[in-house]
Structure 1
Amino acid sequence: MDPSSDTTTSSPTALRGAMPADLLERDARCPFDPAPGLVARRDGDPVQPLPLANGARAWLVTGFDEARAVLADPRFSNDRIRHPDATQMTAEQAASGAPAVDIPERQDGMFIFMDPPEHTRLRSLLTGQFTVRRMRALESRLREIAVEHIEAMRAAGTSADLVPSYALPLPSLMICELLGVDYADRETFQRNTGVALSSSSSDEEKARAGGELYAFIAGLVAAKRAERTDDLLSGLVHDADPPLTDAQLIDMSLVLLGAGHETTANNLALGMFALLERPEQLAALRADPSLIDGTVEELLRYCSIIQLGVSRVATEDVELGGVTVAAGETVVVGTPETNRDPRHWADPDHLDVHRERAPHLAFGHGIHQCLGQQLARAEMRVGISELVARMPDLRLAVPAEEVPLRNDMLIFGVRALPVAWG
């Protein structure tokens, strides 16, 4: 699960349509680096004006300390209904200050777009399910899944695409088991999620995909109401006090399912790509498996999968990084660049599995910090360590610059990762 807020999901139109393209499109020659336009802003002030394509002005935060300040400050809102976000507006809406048309009139269970106290109440129903202790307890099952897929790849030949063969099934199977979703339904869910998160999808395609996702989850909630099973979703259906409505349950399930497979799958694939591209780092990890925890944190920092970052809206005038953010103005936290802030890390553009661990913003910060971060860490820890140990001759099957990137998606990653062994 991911970084931006509570889980890693965000509105598919957010930070895309109104955003300058040079802040979003990564260079295929440097796929692990932030977009060139974001890198170019590194030497500027930590909080900079950000003109949007819709005519509105926002603020871009590239400094690590300033980013943490925004994400921890209750004066910056994540409620998209009460406080419209300029990055999600058309030019007409930006001129009038009206909320974007794709923001629903109700939020129900979409706690990632709420402020306290609504956010606190709904999130508290889930926090106990994603503790460090619970996620550590899942590692034996995660290891079984990883080994099964590694053995299947080896049995099938000497090459594979690591995304569908390994990086995607590992988190997908795990979140399906946790929520009580039939794994056979994953393809429908993943296909519609992909359409919804793609900037190349038309409004009609997104609406159709969203409708199918909603109908799928509605059927799942109805089945849990009719018959209790031993899973997280059944617990929400039957144990929440006060009881949750169907709309709340559907929204919360969409958030968990979407974040539970989309973000970790991309973190895992992109992380392995980075290691395979840097044989000396991979060799260091292979020689000393105890480096795995630090390696996971370094990959999360280095390979930020959020294309640009997360946004907040000031509810009052706030002094930030030497500027005044006026009430109603949008602030965009540039996650890829804040995780490369040279004031916070030495040699930040270098991947180093020996780096001393320090806080990063891959999972966000503050009350919206990623709910499933411990699950994501466990999946990456197991997924990478098993692959490194069981496939010592694993290598890229194509030149690095030929690995296709997900530049048109809200969540960055690779579309495919061709690998070979033997």
Structure 2
Amino acid sequence: MTGWMGKRLLAHLSKTGFDLGSSWFVPSRVLAPLRRNGLDPVPELARMQAQGPVTRLPLPVTVWLVTGYEASKQVLVDADAFSNDFGHLRDLGLFADEAPGGLGFSDPPEHTRLRKVLTPEFTMRRLSRLVPRIEQIVADQLDLMSMKDEPVDLVEHFAMPVPALTICELLGVPASEREEFQRRSVSRFDLGGAATTSLSAVSESIVYFRELVRAQRANPNDGLLGELIRKHGDALDDDELAGLADGLLTGGFETTASMISLGTLAMLRDPSLFERVQSGDEAVNGVVDELLRHQTVVQVAFLRIARRDVEIAGTRIRAGDIVACSLSQANRDPGVYPDPDVIDPSRPAGQHLAFGYGAHRCIGAELAKMELRIAYPALARRFPELRLAADPATLDFRKLSIVYGLHSLPVHLGAHSSPIL
């Protein structure tokens, strides 16, 4: 939902004459959470964090930016004090649209009900059935890459297709529709186009998922939608199922694609990481977890609305105030992570906030880690001489985004084997 929310906000502001794209008049600290300096948060975030973990942003409405690790955890875990309900954003005049559905913009008991339905489908035991298919998807994409003229765009030919096809497997999208599904997935996250174009793609996606749900009700397959219909079909209507499916696409496609490409870039800059992921599962786990912390592709958590007056790290938040947590800066908090800008796979695993925290922690976190643990080693072993095909200073990063990433990553594959037939 994070990409959806960002594009909705950009579209709303552009309609009212507040153009973030022409941001010379917008205070830099307002935009700092949406910007990066290559693979690192912009220095202004660290300066704000050094002054205190909670900062009020200079905006017409009261918005607090939380940059500290512990303060962010306090906000993210306290569903009694902070609401994710989309209706609050609508009441503030930020949006006039219907709620997008899914888990991201709901509170208990609705969130609890939907999460309870999905959680059993995202245990490691359930997800393990996807491992052979993910391995085959990755191998197929590496074969296709090997047949491309160099330089090869790793974003287009590897980072995007792997999670898109994995979600097809997860949801049970028919094989005949997967090429079209990939096209829709890419178009909805085309940040180079106008916000309204991207929003149109989001609307088309919801329509598609409604049609897929109806088809699955008539003839459920072994995918997630079919399972949910068989187990909970009477308790979930078509709109709820379509919203859940769209939320899984949003949370599982763009974020994982960004992590594959940014993680690959980080490994190319530090060959020791590239060697680590070739050496075995235990080493891979440490690299993946640390890359997730270091990159934190979802830069800002879902906006929260304070339900009541509450104190965060000594700052009084009033009922009705908006609170945004900078996950990227919280994961670079020097009070928690010594030398936070260094990629150190030996750090204790599982402490970072890359997937959020508390009841709204990303339900697909284990699936994302599974994809990364398969994709990175397969890429490194297949193309051990992989190298950048462009000056690092010219790489095309997203300029202003809630979900950070690269538009393209040109690489030379080096010596590689012939496609495996």
What range is the shorter-chain TM-score in?
0.7 to 0.9
Taking the TM superposition and a 5 Å limit, the aligned residue runs for 1:98-177 are: 98-104=92-98, 109-157=101-149, 159-177=151-169
CA distance in 1, matches of 2:201, 2:330: 33
1:78 Cα deviation (Å)?
A: 0.5
CA distance in 2, matches of 1:292, 1:8: 27
1:377 to 350, 369, 380: 369
Bigger shift: residues 159-168 or 320-329 = 159-168
2:396 alignment counterpart: 404
Number of aligned residues = 394
8 Å contact kept, 1:179–1:232: yes
1:25 alignment counterpart: 35
Q: Per-residue displacement from partner, 1:38-85 (whole Å, max 9, x unpaired)?
A: 233131111121222xx112111111111111111121110121x338
8 Å contact kept, 2:217–2:229: yes
1:88 alignment counterpart: none
Give the letter aligned to residue 229 of structure 1: N
1:263 Cα deviation (Å)?
A: 1.1
1:250 Cα deviation (Å)?
A: 1.6
8 Å contact kept, 2:164–2:182: no
Secondary structure at the aligned position of 2:57 is classed as strand
Taking the TM superposition and a 5 Å limit, the aligned residue runs for 1:315-334 are: 315-334=307-326
Bigger shift: residues 184-193 or 412-421 = 184-193
CA distance in 1, matches of 2:148, 2:376: 20
Secondary structure at the aligned position of 2:51 is classed as coil
CA distance in 2, matches of 1:288, 1:227: 41
Give the letter aligned to residue 72 of structure 2: A
User: In 2 relative to 1, CA 66–273 (structure 1 residues): closer, same or farther, beyond 3 Å?
Assistant: same
2:188 to 193, 209, 223: 193
User: In 2 relative to 1, CA 273–21 (structure 1 residues): closer, same or farther, beyond 3 Å?
Assistant: same
CA distance in 2, matches of 1:43, 1:167: 35
User: In 2 relative to 1, CA 14–45 (structure 1 residues): closer, same or farther, beyond 3 Å?
Assistant: farther
1:351 to 324, 328, 343: 343
CA distance in 1, matches of 2:120, 2:218: 25
CA distance in 1, matches of 2:390, 2:216: 45
8 Å contact kept, 1:193–1:258: no
Q: Per-residue displacement from partner, 1:199-244 (whole Å, max 9, x unpaired)?
A: 86244x3443233222222221221122222211122234316432
Give the letter aligned to residue 94 of structure 2: A
1:15 Cα deviation (Å)?
A: 7.0
1:78 alignment counterpart: 84
Secondary structure at the aligned position of 2:40 is classed as coil
Q: Normalising by the residue count of structure 1, what TM-score does the alignment of the two structures yield?
A: 0.87
Secondary structure at the aligned position of 2:210 is classed as helix
1:257 alignment counterpart: 249
User: In 2 relative to 1, CA 207–151 (structure 1 residues): closer, same or farther, beyond 3 Å?
Assistant: closer
8 Å contact kept, 2:34–2:402: no
User: In 2 relative to 1, CA 143–241 (structure 1 residues): closer, same or farther, beyond 3 Å?
Assistant: closer
Q: Percent identity?
A: 35
1:90 alignment counterpart: none
Q: Per-residue displacement from partner, 1:263-290 (whole Å, max 9, x unpaired)?
A: 1111111111111112233234445663
1:92 alignment counterpart: none
CA distance in 2, matches of 1:23, 1:246: 36
Taking the TM superposition and a 5 Å limit, the aligned residue runs for 1:170-249 are: 170-181=162-173, 182-195=177-190, 198=191, 201-203=194-196, 205-240=197-232, 242-249=234-241
Give the letter aligned to residue 34 of structure 1: P
Give the letter aligned to residue 235 of structure 2: P
Taking the TM superposition and a 5 Å limit, the aligned residue runs for 1:266-281 are: 266-281=258-273
1:50 alignment counterpart: 57
Q: Per-residue displacement from partner, 1:350-393 (whole Å, max 9, x unpaired)?
A: 11233332500000000000000000000000000111122111
2:24 alignment counterpart: none
User: In 2 relative to 1, CA 284–207 (structure 1 residues): closer, same or farther, beyond 3 Å?
Assistant: closer
8 Å contact kept, 1:111–1:119: yes
1:303 to 285, 290, 295: 295
User: In 2 relative to 1, CA 139–399 (structure 1 residues): closer, same or farther, beyond 3 Å?
Assistant: same
Give the letter aligned to residue 25 of structure 1: R
Give the letter aligned to residue 93 of structure 2: P
Work out which structure has the larger RCO, using CA pairs closer than 8 Å and 6 or more positions apart in sequence. 1
CA distance in 1, matches of 2:203, 2:262: 30
Give the letter aligned to residue 188 of structure 1: R
1:66 alignment counterpart: 71
Q: Normalising by the residue count of structure 2, what TM-score does the alignment of the two structures yield?
A: 0.87
Could you tell me which runs of 5 or more consecutive residues in structure 1 were left unpaired when the two chains were aligned: 1-6, 86-96
- Larger helix share, 1 or 2: 2
1:8 Cα deviation (Å)?
A: 5.8
2:26 alignment counterpart: none
User: In 2 relative to 1, CA 202–10 (structure 1 residues): closer, same or farther, beyond 3 Å?
Assistant: closer
Bigger shift: residues 355-364 or 297-306 = 355-364
Q: Per-residue displacement from partner, 1:172-201 (whole Å, max 9, x unpaired)?
A: 111101111131222331244124xx3862
Give the letter aligned to residue 31 of structure 2: A
